[in-house]
Structure 1
Amino acid sequence: MKQILIVEDELAISRVLKAYLERAQYRVEQAFSGEEAIAKFTASPPALVLLDVMLPGRDGWSILRYIRERSSCPVVMLTAIGQIEQKLAGLNQGADDYITKPFIAEEVVARVNAVLRRSASSTGGERFTSFGSLQVDFKAHSVKLHGVELAFPPRDLSLFLFLARHPNQTFTREQLIEHVWGLDYEGSDRAVDLAIKRIRRRLENWPASEGEIRTLRGLGYQLYVCEK
């Protein structure tokens, strides 16, 4: 039975969503603040998070960034804000779907089902992928080379996992910042170059015959993997 984490500070809404999701055969955990959400997400990683934007303490955007730095867990945003700019901001920061209040509970369940189907399809139902001697475990957020786990700082790991999900695709610095750092990042795009440099250092023993992180001048970066 898949577990859903509802992060919603309005008790009545949370109760209704819990009842409908349990009726749909999901196991449900509830959190009513940002801090509680992080604690429950860390203690028992769910299959999907329903995440309200307006929360006491840490808001939904902060929680979304926290999740994306550590996990590919699907996230559906819940908010009373209807502006298209807010919707695009959430999707660009890594949200998988966006539902505006007021909503019908049955619609939320249908969206949850659809997002979980897409998530399983996008990875072929697999948690692992291998590029020769390099093995990536998306669920455990680990990377092994020749059977030995590589140690990455959290942000570098998020960047590498993103590239590994899209092998042989090229991304500009701006696109990588949007997907990994988030739209509210105010630092230099040099952070991408430095992270790539650190990642390459950790992959220095990965045979070039299997793959490498390439720089395409004027275009961006890609995780190039050799065709089998």
Structure 2
Amino acid sequence: MKKVLVVEDEQTISRVLTVYLQHEGLHVLQAFDGEAALSLFYEHGPELVLLDVMLTDMDGWKILQEIRTKSSCPVIMLTALGDIDYRLKGLNGGADDYITKPFVGEEVVARVNAVLRRSANVLDSENTRQFGSLKISLDSHAVTLNGEPVMLTPRDLSLLLFLTERPNRTFTRDDLIENVWGMDYDGSDRAVDLAIKRIRQALSGWPATQGEIRTLRGLGYQFCVNGK
């Protein structure tokens, strides 16, 4: 049974989310503050975190940052802040999705299931891809650069794998949304740009002579190998 950690300081909202998620056959852990959230996260290792931005003791951004230093576990941000800057802050910080309050329980369940499917279906193969000092192990979903592990969220890893399967081919944002995010994604295509930015930052030590993720203005993105 997959575990979902719900981090929400409003107990009524937390109970509602718990009921909906349990109805889907998920095991729900509840935390009402940041300290408890991190403790439960490290103790139980959930498959997904629903994380409220506004908590009493620490904000959700700090918790997301802490999680990302240790894990690529999917995180969906819960926020009453409708401003696009806050949404982009979450996505740029490594969140996999965001849900704005007030929300419909069925929507939360659909988003959770979509993110869990993406993280479970990244790729299950015993192949290994190597591009100079960049090595991608598909059986363990691990990425290393110069022998050191590279931390990527499941969605960013899915995007990197999709591009590395098709080197030197150009894909538009819409292509990448359809093939990586999925047809059920209804957010901004700016998420593609943010994901590419995070991957480039994670691979900043990868020599350009070995490869790069190239932007073709007005066309899209390309995983370019050996400068081709």
Tell me the TM-score normalised to structure 2 length: 0.63
1:131 to 129, 139, 152: 129
Aligned partner letter, 1:15: R
Aligned partner letter, 1:158: M
Q: Secondary structure at the match of 1:158?
A: coil
Aligned partner letter, 1:136: S
Q: Distance in 1 between matches of 2:100 and 2:40?
A: 24
Aligned partner letter, 1:37: A
1:158 to 135, 146, 151: 151
* 1:1-228 correspondence runs (5 A): 1-121=1-121, 123-124=122-123, 126=124, 130-131=128-129, 134=135, 136=137, 150=147, 157-158=150-151, 165=161, 167=164, 168=167, 178-179=197-198, 196-197=204-205, 213-214=210-211, 224=225
Does the aligned pair in 1 maintain the 2:91–2:194 contact within 8 Å? no
Does the aligned pair in 1 maintain the 2:17–2:105 contact within 8 Å? yes
Alignment length (residue pairs): 189
Q: Secondary structure at the match of 2:73?
A: coil
Deviation sequence 1:156-195 (CA, Å, 0-9, x none): x327x9676453589xxx96895279xxxxxxxxxx69x8
**Percent identity of paired positions between Structure 1 and Structure 2:** 45
Q: Secondary structure at the match of 2:51?
A: strand
Q: Distance in 1 between matches of 2:27 and 2:61?
A: 24
**Structure 2 CA distance for partners of 1:158 and 1:21, relative to 1, 3 Å:** same
Does the aligned pair in 2 maintain the 1:7–1:50 contact within 8 Å? yes
Unpaired segments of 5 or more residues in structure 1?
Answer: 182-191, 201-211
Q: Secondary structure at the match of 1:131?
A: strand
Deviation at 1:71, TM superposition (A): 2.5
Q: Distance in 2 between matches of 1:48 and 1:86?
A: 21
Q: Distance in 1 between matches of 2:50 and 2:32?
A: 12
**Structure 2 CA distance for partners of 1:215 and 1:62, relative to 1, 3 Å:** same
Aligned partner letter, 1:55: L
**Structure 2 CA distance for partners of 1:101 and 1:134, relative to 1, 3 Å:** closer
Unpaired segments of 5 or more residues in structure 2?
Answer: 171-192, 217-222
**Structure 2 CA distance for partners of 1:65 and 1:223, relative to 1, 3 Å:** farther
Does the aligned pair in 1 maintain the 2:213–2:224 contact within 8 Å? no
Deviation sequence 1:62-121 (CA, Å, 0-9, x none): 122222333222211101111122112212222222111111222211211122223334
Deviation at 1:14, TM superposition (A): 0.8
Q: Distance in 2 between matches of 1:151 and 1:214?
A: 18
Q: Distance in 1 between matches of 2:18 and 2:63?
A: 20
Deviation sequence 1:20-56 (CA, Å, 0-9, x none): 1111100011111222222221222211110100112
Q: Distance in 1 between matches of 2:107 and 2:195?
A: 32
Q: Secondary structure at the match of 2:117?
A: helix
Does the aligned pair in 1 maintain the 2:2–2:47 contact within 8 Å? yes
Deviation at 1:135, TM superposition (A): 5.8
Aligned partner letter, 2:137: V
Does the aligned pair in 1 maintain the 2:135–2:143 contact within 8 Å? no
Q: Secondary structure at the match of 1:69?
A: helix
